[in-house]
Structure 1
Amino acid sequence: MLSTRGESYAEAGLANGYLGPPKSLFNKDNKAGVVSFGNAENFLMQDVILEYIRTQAAPGLDPTSLTYHEGPFGSRRLREAMARLITTYFHPVSPISSDHIVFTSGVTSLNAISALSLTDPGDGILLGQPIYGSFNGDLCVPSNCKLVYTTFQGDDPFGPNAVARYEEAFLKARDESGISVRALLICNPHNPLGRCYPRETLEAFLRFCQKYQIHLISDEVYALSVYDDDDSGFISILSINPADIGVDPALIHVLYGMSKDFAAAGLRLGCLISQNQRLLQAVLSISRFHWPSTISCSIATAILEDQNFIETFLQRSRRLLRSHRDLATKALEEAGIPYAPGPIAGFFLWIDLSKCLDPTIVANQGEWEAESHLSGRIRQIGVEMSSGYAYHNEAAGWFRVIFTVDVETLKEGLSRIIELYRSSGGSS
C-alpha cells in the first residue's frame, strides 16, 4: 500500500508518544495522578513568557502575520533579532548577521534537515553516549543515515581525552562497517548530563573534524539555561576562532531555538547558524517544507527585540533552575540515589536506579530487559521518565528526571521514586 519510504515512517512510530487518551496528571486536586518527568520544558517560566506574549507581543501583530510574508525561513527582522541575541550571549568570534541564520519549525526539523543535507543514505553521524534519545528518529528516518555511538568506558566524556574515543568509533565504523561518517553531533549544554564542554575539549573536537573533514553540529538549545553561580559554564562553539587552530569555518554549525531557554516549545521555532553558504542554500530550499508559523515568528521577534525583558527573564529563570536543581539533588542525596555529577545546565538530572534492577532478570535476560521491567514498575507508581536505553547509555538502570515542574509535583515525583528505590533494596 505504501512506498518503502512511507513504510519506514509508518514503522518508526515517531508520534506514538502523543497518541492515546490524555493522561490524568498529578496536581493539588488529583493527588493520584501521573507525575510526568517526560518532556524537557521549563514549566517554571511559562506563565512569565505567556503574560509577555499576551500583553506585549500579541498586540503588535499586524496583517503580515497572516500572510506568507518574506518566506519560509524567518523574516529579516526576526533573523536580525536572533543575530543580536547570539552576538550578546554566545560571543561569536566572527560577526553573525541575518544572512547566517535560517529559521524552521523547530530544532527537530533542523535535525532532519541537517541529516538530509550532510549525509547520503548509509552515511554516519557520530554521537557520544548517553545522548538525547530522539536523535535516532529525527536524523535517521528522514535521511536513512546511520548513527555511530561512542562509548567512553570510564573516561570523562567532557574531557579532551574523550576525543580519542570518538576517533576510535569513527575509525571502527569506517574500517569495519564501511560507514562514511560525515558529521559529529554534540549537545552543549548536554542532554541528559546537564554539563557544558570546556574550551579545550571543543577545540579538540574542531581539530578532529578538520583532520577527517567532517562537520561539527553543536546543538546549543540550552545555552541560556546555565544556572551555575558565576554563569561561566557555557562556551559556544561560535566563540572559538577556527583560524587559530587551522579549522575550516565551513565545517561548523550551531542549532538553536525558542523551546528551551524561552519556555516556548509551542512556538515551534528553531534556527541554524552557519557560515557555510552551500549548506545555507540547501536549508533555505528545504525550509519550504518546514515553514514556521508567521504568527510565531512575529511573537518571537517581539521577544528577541526586547533586550531588557530577555535579561530579566533569564535571570529569573536561572534562579528558579538552580533552586529546583538544589531541591532535587538534596532529596536524591538524602535517599542515597546517585546521579551524574556536575549538573549546571538544562532541566534534568541523570539518576542511577541500577540497584532497582531485578537480579534474576539481569542474570537470565540481560540488564536491558531488566531496565525495561523497571520502567514498567516506574510507570506503575505513576511516574514518567526517559530511560537509559532510550538515551543510549552505556549501562542500564539510568533515568532522566525533569526538575522544571512546580515544587509540589517535583516533591511528589521524587518521593515516589525514592519509595521505589528503598523498596528495591537501595540505600535509605
Structure 2
Amino acid sequence: MISTRGERYAKAGLADGYLGPPKTHFDKDSKQGVVSFSNAENVSPGLDSTNLTYHEGPFGSNRLRAAMANLMTTYFHPATPISPNNIVFANGVTSLNTICALSLTNPGDGILLAQPIYGSFTGDLSVPSDYQLIYTPFHGDDPFSPASVARYEETFLKARHETGVKIQALLICNPHNPLGRCYSRETLQAVLLFCQKYQIHLISDEIYALSVYGNHDSDGFVSILSIDPIPLGVSPALIHVLYGLSKDFAAAGLRLGCLISQNQRLLQAALSMSRFHWPSNISCSIATAVLEDREFVETFLPKSRQLLCSHRDLAVRALEEAGIPFAQGSVAGFFLWIDLSKCLDDEIVTGQGEWAAELDLSRRLQQTGVVMSSGHAYHNEVAGWFRVIFSVEVEMLKVGLSRITEFYSSASDKQI
C-alpha cells in the first residue's frame, strides 16, 4: 500500500521509544513516578517541565491527539471513529506533504492534481521526494462535478501509457485553494471510486475545513472522512486527510499540522519521519489548550466565518463595480480568483507568450503596491489570473482593492 522508501521508514521505528503506555513523570513532592535519565535535557524549573523537553515524542502528545480527534468528531463527522492513534502531528502541513510524498511514492512515480491548485505543492512534494506532479486540465468542465473524474482518468491514463509515469496518489484541496469551493458528497464518492479502480491513494488537504461561510447547505464542506468507503467497495487504507491550525484558528506561527489515516503502515512511516519534522512542545501545549476549550472553539469559529464572509463580500462588491471578472461560487478560504487577462500586454503575448506577459503583468502590479500569487504559480490553464487574499485588516483590504481596480481601469483603457 505504501512505497518502498515508505516501508523503510515504517520498519525503522524511529519513534518507537516514545510509544507504549504513557509514563507517569516523577513528582518531587510525592516522590512518585518514573525517574528518566534517558534523554539529555536541561530542564527549566520555572516552567511546566514537559513544554521544554522531548515530552511524549515528535508526533504530538496523546492529549493533543485526543483533542484533535474530538474536533474531528464534532466538525468533520467521520463515518469511522477517529482515535488519537489515527493521528500524527508534525510541524505544519508542509512537512506532512513531504511525509506523504516520501511514504507513498518511489522516485519517478507521480501524484495527480487539478488545475489550478495551491502552487507550493511543487516545493512541498516533488523537491524532497524526486517524483512528478501530474496536473489535470478540465477544459471548461466544472472541476467540482462528478463528471470531472473523467478528466482525472484521462490524465492518469495518458501519464501511464505515453510517459510511463506510475501515479500513486490523487491530491485534492477541499475546500479548494484558490477557487474557494467545496466538493460535494457525490463528487467525493466518484473520486473514491476512481482511486479504488486504479488502487491509488487519495490525499485530501482539508486545512480550510472550518473557514466555510456558504449560505446554502449545498455549498457546505463535506469531509472525505464523513463518507463510509466500505459500502462503496473502497479500501479505507487508501484515504488520508491533512489538517492544521494555521488557517481555521489563525495560528500559522504555531507550525502544527496532522495526518489522519486508517493505514497503519503509512502511520508507522509517518511516526518515524516525524522525528525530522518535530513540532515544538510549546506549540503543542498552546494548541491543546485551545482545542480543549470547547466554549472558545464554539465561539471563535462562527465569529471567524462571519468576518471572512464580510471581507469576501467587500471584495466582491469592489470587483463587480470595477467590472473585474472572478471565479464564481467562492464560499471558503481567504481568497478570490480574479481574471486580469484583459491587462496582459498584447505585444509580449505575441512575441514571448502569455506566461511571459503574465510575469510582466505581475511586475506592473507590484509597481502599484500590490503583490498577488499568479496563475502560473497555481498551474492555471490560462494566463492572467491572480489570487486576492481578503483575510487582512479592512483598511489594508480597501486600499489594496482600490489599487487593483484603478490599475485595471487604466490598463483596460490602454488596451482600447
TM-score by length of 1: 0.85
Residue type of the alignment partner of 1:408: E
Q: C-alpha distance in 1, partners of 2:324/2:48?
A: 52
Q: C-alpha distance in 1, partners of 2:367/2:411?
A: 14
For the structure 1 residues 325 and 61, does the alpha-carbon distance in structure 2 shift closer, same or farther, using more than 3 Å as the test? farther
**Matched residue SS, 1:95:** coil
**Matched residue SS, 1:299:** helix
8 A Cα contact 1:193 1:349, kept in partner: yes
The reply on whether 1:110 has 2:91 as its aligned counterpart is no
Give the match for residue 289 of structure 1: 276
The reply on whether 1:251 has 2:238 as its aligned counterpart is yes
Which segments of 5 or more consecutive residues in structure 1 lack a partner in the other structure? 1-59
Higher-RCO chain (CA-CA 8 Å, sequence separation at least 6):
1
**Displacement of 1:61 after TM fit?**
6.5
Alignment of 1:135-150 (within 5 A): 135-150=121-136
- Structure whose CA Rg is larger: 2
Q: C-alpha distance in 1, partners of 2:291/2:141?
A: 39
Give the match for residue 366 of structure 2: 379
Give the one of 334, 337, 340 matched to 1:347: 334
Q: Deviations over 1:48-105 (max 9, x none)?
A: xxxxxxxxxxxx9721101100000000000000000000000000000000000000
Q: C-alpha distance in 1, partners of 2:86/2:333?
A: 26
Number of residue pairs aligned between Structure 1 and Structure 2: 369
The reply on whether 1:152 has 2:152 as its aligned counterpart is no
Q: C-alpha distance in 2, partners of 1:293/1:113?
A: 18
Residue type of the alignment partner of 1:280: L
Residue type of the alignment partner of 2:377: A
Give the match for residue 14 of structure 1: none
**Displacement of 1:107 after TM fit?**
0.1
8 A Cα contact 1:192 1:348, kept in partner: yes
Alignment of 1:412-427 (within 5 A): 412-425=399-412
**Root-mean-square deviation (CA), in Å?**
1.3
Give the match for residue 360 of structure 1: 347
Give the one of 62, 82, 85 matched to 2:68: 82
Q: Deviations over 1:115-166 (max 9, x none)?
A: 0000001100000000000000100011001000000000000001100000
Alignment of 1:20-419 (within 5 A): 62-230=48-216, 233-419=220-406
Q: Deviations over 1:205-229 (max 9, x none)?
A: 0000000000000000000000113
Which segments of 5 or more consecutive residues in structure 2 lack a partner in the other structure? 1-45
**Matched residue SS, 2:100:** helix
Q: Deviations over 1:310-330 (max 9, x none)?
A: 010001001100000000000
For the structure 1 residues 61 and 317, does the alpha-carbon distance in structure 2 shift closer, same or farther, using more than 3 Å as the test? farther
Q: C-alpha distance in 2, partners of 1:404/1:291?
A: 29
Residue type of the alignment partner of 1:277: Q
Q: C-alpha distance in 1, partners of 2:47/2:202?
A: 37
Give the match for residue 19 of structure 2: none
**Displacement of 1:196 after TM fit?**
0.1
8 A Cα contact 1:61 1:298, kept in partner: no
Runs of 4+ that moved beyond 2 A: 229-232
TM-score by length of 2: 0.87
**Displacement of 1:301 after TM fit?**
0.3
Q: Deviations over 1:180-231 (max 9, x none)?
A: 0000000000000000000111000000000000000000000000011356
